[in-house]
Amino acid sequence: MPSYISNFSRRKFLAGTALSAAALVMPSVLKAQGAGVKLGILHPVSGALSYSGTQGRLGAALAVEEINTDGGIKGLGKIDAILGDALSTPEGGTAEVEKMNSAGVTCIIGGYASAVCLAVSQAAARYELPYVVDVGVADAIVTRGLKNTFRFGPGFGTISKTALDNLATINDAAGRPAKTVMIVHEDSLFGSGLAKLLNAQLPQHGFEILETIPHPTPTRDFNNVVLKMKAQNPDLVIPADYYNEYVLLARTMQQQRVRPKGIYSVLGGAASSYKFVKEFPDAAKYIMDCNHWFDPRNPKALALKKKVEDRGQFYTYEVYMNYSCVLLVADALSRAGAADRGKLTAALESSTFSGHVMPYGPTKFVNGQNQGAAPVNTQVLDNDIKVVLPANFAQAKPVFPMPA
Amino acid sequence: MFSPLILITAILNGLLTGAVYALVALGLTLIYGVLHIINFAHGALLSMALFGAFFAFRLLGLDPYLAALFLAPALFAFGYALQRFIIGPASHGDDRNILLVTLGVSVVIENVLLYAFRADTRTIDVPYAFQTLDLGFTFLPIPRVIGFGAVLAVAVALWALMTWTDLGKAIRAVAKEKLGAELVGIDVSHVYAVTFGLGTACVAIAACLLIPTYYVNPTVGEAFVLIAFTIVVLGGMGSVPGALIGGLLIGVVESLSGLFLGESLGQIGIFLIFIMVLLVRPTGLFGVKA
C-alpha cells in the first residue's frame, strides 16, 4: 500500500484542515487592514558600482521606513521591500527582475547605471511590471516605447543642454573671460558620449576646444594630463570622470598649481559630492557642476539630509533620487487603490506628484519621461555646495572666474 | 611636439610612479620569481595593506610612514601564516592548485574587505600631501619623492638580504633546487613561508607610501598587479635589481606613452616593451638562463 495513505492519520487530517481554514480566513483579516504591497528595490550593491548602489538602497529604505511608520500606503497597507542586487551588470539586473516577478512585486524601483536600467526595463516589460528608473540618464531608456518604464529624473539630453546653456549664461554674465576649453574624460560610454557632445556643441557657444583627453578607469596618475594643461593653459577645464579619477585629477591640479579660470563639470564624479568637499576643501573650491541635486529650500529635503548625515552617510544624489522615486510610487499606488500592475502603470502615467525633494517643475510623464525633471548648477562655495542656477532655486551667485 | 621641460617632467613623474610599481613588483618577484607561485592574491593583499595604513591613520593617528614600521611586520606575519597554513597545505605541491588557491584567497580577501568597509573610496589628508619640491620648471609632490627614496632603500636592503645573509642563501637555494636544499637541512616549508612573508611586507610598505596621495577601496590593488607581473618578467624572475630597474623603466614608458599617445593608449607602450623583451631576451633584463 502506498505510504502516503497509510501515514495519513486522523491527527494529520485535523491539523491540515485547521491550517487550510486559517489560510482561508487570514487573507480577509489582512485585507481589512491592507494586505501590504511588495516593491522591488533593485540596485548594484556589489561590484564596481556598489557604493552608488548602496547609497540608492539607503534612500529607498528611508522612504519605505517613513511610509511604514506612518501606517503604510492608504488602503493598501505596509510596503514589503524586496531587495535585489544587480551586481553592477545588466545580466545581474535582469536576473533580479525574474526573481522579483516570481516574488509578486507590484513595481521595481532603481537600477542606477544606464546599462542596468536598459536591461531591467526590457525584462520588466515582459511581465508588464511597472519600473521606475532612479538615476540612469541614457535617453534610450525612455525612447523605446516601453509602457512600463518611468524615469523621474532628467535624461542625458536635458542635462547636457542645460549644462551648456548655463555655462554660456555664467560666462556671458562675467564678460566672457573663458574662451578656450580642455576636456578630460573617462573613456567609457558616459565620458566619451559627453565629450563627443561637448565637442559638437561648445564651438556653437563660442568656445575653442584646445584638446580632448580620454583616460581609462582606473587611472593611477594624472600628472601627464596636468602637464598638458600647463602647456596649453586653457581658460576652462571640463572633467567628465567617476569619483576616484575626479578626485585624483583635482588633487594633481592643486599639487601642480594649475588654476584655470574655471572647472566646470557635467554630471561630475566628485564635483557635487559632500565627501570630496569635506576631505579636500582646497582642491574642491569653486568647482562648478551641472548635476542631480535636491531642492535646498524644501524642508523635507533638509530633514532627509540630516537623517542621512546622522547615520554617518553622505547625502549623495542616489539617496534623495531613490527616496523621491519610492514616494512617487507610493502616491501612485494610493491613487490606484490596488496593488495591481496595470492600475499602477495608469496611475504613474497620470501622476502630478509634488511631495518629492527635488528641484523639479510639475510632474508630468510623457512616454515615461518626467517633463518637470531638470538638473541644477552647483558650485563649491564656503566649504559647502550651493545651487547657483536656475535662479528660482539658487542659494548663491556663481563665482566666475575663480579668484586667484 | 612637447617642450624639453615637459618631457623631463614626464620622465621624472614616470620615475616616481615607477618606484611604487617596483616595490609592488619586488614583493611579487620574490614570490613569483623565486618560489614560482603565481600569486593572484598580491593585489588583494595590497588593498588590505592600504586599508591597514588608512585605519592606522584614522583611528590611531599614525602617520603612514610611521605605520610602515608596524604594518610591514604585521603583513609579514600574515603572509607567513597564509603560505604556511593555507596556500602550502591546500596546494599539495601542485602549481595548478597554487594558482587556484591564491585566486580563492584574493576573492575571499576582497569580499571580506567589501563586507567590512563597503565599496566606498577612502582617502587620508596628511599635512604634507600637497607639499611640492620646486625644481624651477616643475613641482614634484613631496610624498612621491619620499616614496622614491624609500623604495630605493627597501630594494637595497632586500638585495643585501638575498646576497649576504643565510636566509637569502637559503631562499636562493630553495629556488634553484628544492630537493637539494631539503637534503642539506633547509626547512623548505619555512623558507617558502618566509619568502611569501617578505613579499607581503613589501606590499605593506608600498601601501604606506601610496596612501598619502592615493585612495583605497576593496579592489584598488588590482590596478597594480598586472603591471607588477609585467615588471617581474621584464626585470628577470627573482631579480631584485631587475624589479627595481624594470619598475622605473615601466613607469617612464607609461608616462611618455601617455603623453604622446594619450592616457587611454598609455598602457600600449608597456606591453610593447614587454613583448620586445620576451622576443629578444626571454629571461628578462637581469634574469639568468635556467
Cα distance between residue B184 and residue B192, in whole Å: 16
Q: Which of A187, A215, A255 sits opposite B139 (nearest CB)?
A: A255
| Same domain flag for A251 and A325 | no
Does A397 reside within a domain?
no
Does A13 reside within a domain?
no
Cβ contact A54–B258 (<8 Å): no
Does A247 reside within a domain?
yes
Q: Does B271 touch chain A (CB under 8 A)?
A: no
| Same domain flag for A194 and A283 | yes
A51 Cβ partners below 8 Å, 6+ apart? A243, B118, B119, B120, B121
Question: What domains lie within chain B, and their CATH numbers?
Answer: 4-280 (1.10.3470)
| Same domain flag for A150 and A209 | no
Q: Of the candidates A49, A100, A19, A365, which has an alpha carbon nearest to the alpha carbon of residue B121?
A: A49
Interface probe, candidates B225, B250, B261, B264, chain A, greatest A C-beta count within 10 A: B264
| Same domain flag for A74 and A146 | yes
Cβ contact B118–A228 (<8 Å): no
Helix (H, G, I), strand (E, B) or coil at B52: helix
Q: Does A228 touch chain B (CB under 8 A)?
A: yes
| Same domain flag for A244 and A369 | no
A11-15, A127-131, A369-373, B283-287: range with lowest mean pLDDT: A11-15
* pLDDT of A364 higher than 60: yes
CA–CA min distance A11, chain B (Å): 48
Q: Does A46 touch chain B (CB under 8 A)?
A: yes
Q: Does B173 touch chain A (CB under 8 A)?
A: no
| Same domain flag for A343 and A283 | no
- Kindly report, residue by residue over A285-324, the tens digit of the pLDDT: 999 999 999 999 999 999 999 999 999 999 999 999 999 9
Cβ contact A215–B9 (<8 Å): no
| Same domain flag for A286 and A170 | yes
Strand order in the sheet with A384-389: A208-215, A180-186, A236-240, A262-266, A288-291, A376-381, A384-389
Does A21 reside within a domain?
no
A322 Cβ partners below 8 Å, 6+ apart? A41, A43, A56, A57, A58, A59, A60, A63, A109, A110, A134
The rounded mean pLDDT for chain B is 89
Alpha-carbon dihedral sign for residues A149, A366, A321, A64: negative
Total number of domains constituting chain A: 2
Does A246 reside within a domain?
yes
Q: Tell me the residue type at B127.
A: P
Does A364 reside within a domain?
yes
∠ CA A247-A357-A308, nearest 5°, is 55
Residue A173 confidence (pLDDT): 94
Interface of A with B in 163-222 (CB under 8 A): 187, 213-216, 218-221
Helix (H, G, I), strand (E, B) or coil at B122: strand
ipTM computed for the complex? 0.77
How many Cβ atoms are within 10 Å of A6's Cβ, its own excluded? 8
| Same domain flag for A200 and A309 | no
- Kindly report, residue by residue over A249-263, the tens digit of the pLDDT: 998 998 888 999 999
- Kindly report, residue by residue over B73-132, the tens digit of the pLDDT: 999 999 999 999 998 888 887 777 888 899 999 999 998 998 888 777 888 888 888 888
Contacts of B119 in chain A (CB under 8 A): 46, 50-51, 54
Q: Of the candidates A281, A286, A295, which has an alpha carbon nearest to the alpha carbon of residue A376?
A: A295
| Same domain flag for A259 and A384 | yes
Q: Which of A54, A218, A248 sits opposite B119 (nearest CB)?
A: A54
- Kindly report, residue by residue over A162-177, the tens digit of the pLDDT: 999 999 999 999 999 9
Residue A34 confidence (pLDDT): 60
Q: Of the candidates A18, A37, A15, A10, which has an alpha carbon nearest to the alpha carbon of residue A326?
A: A37
Contacts of B220 in chain A (CB under 8 A): 218
- Could you write out the three-class secondary structure of chain A? CCHHHHCCCHHHHHHHHHHHHHHHHHHHHHHHHCCCEEEEEEECCCCCCHHHHHHHHHHHHHHHHHHHHCCCECCCECEEEEEEECCCCHHHHHHHHHHHHHHCCCEEEECCCHHHHHHHHHHHHCCCCCEEECCCCCHHHHCCCCCCEEECCCCHHHHHHHHHHHHHHHHHHCCCCCCEEEEEEECCHHHHHHHHHHHHHCHHHCCEEEEEEEECCCCCCCHHHHHHHHHHCCCEEEEECCHHHHHHHHHHHHHCCCCCCEEEEECCCCCCCHHHHHHCHHHHCCCEEEECCCCCCCHHHHHHHHHHHHCCCCCCHHHHHHHHHHHHHHHHHHHHCCCCHHHHHHHHHCCCCCCCCCCCCCCCEECCEECCCCCEEEEEECCEEEEEECCCCCCCCCCCCCCC
Whole-model pTM: value is: 0.79
**The three cell numbers locating residue B45:** 593583499
The residue segments making up the domain with residue A278 are 157-291+377-389
Q: Which of A216, A251, A280 sits opposite B263 (nearest CB)?
A: A216
Instruction: Please compute Rg for chain A using Cα positions.
Output: 24
Does A129 reside within a domain?
yes
| Same domain flag for A306 and A262 | no
Average pLDDT over residues A23-36: 48
How many inter-chain contacts (A to B, CB under 8 Å) are there? 84
| Same domain flag for A285 and A189 | yes
Looking up residue A220, the CATH number of its domain turns out to be 3.40.50.2300
Q: Which of A224, A230, A280 sits opposite B13 (nearest CB)?
A: A224
CA–CA min distance B240, chain A (Å): 24
**The three cell numbers locating residue A269:** 564624479
- Kindly report, residue by residue over B23-74, the tens digit of the pLDDT: 999 999 888 867 778 888 999 999 999 999 999 999 999 999 999 999 999 9
Does A273 reside within a domain?
yes
Cα distance between residue A354 and residue A300, in whole Å: 12
- Kindly report, residue by residue over B222-236, the tens digit of the pLDDT: 888 888 988 988 888
| Same domain flag for A244 and A383 | yes
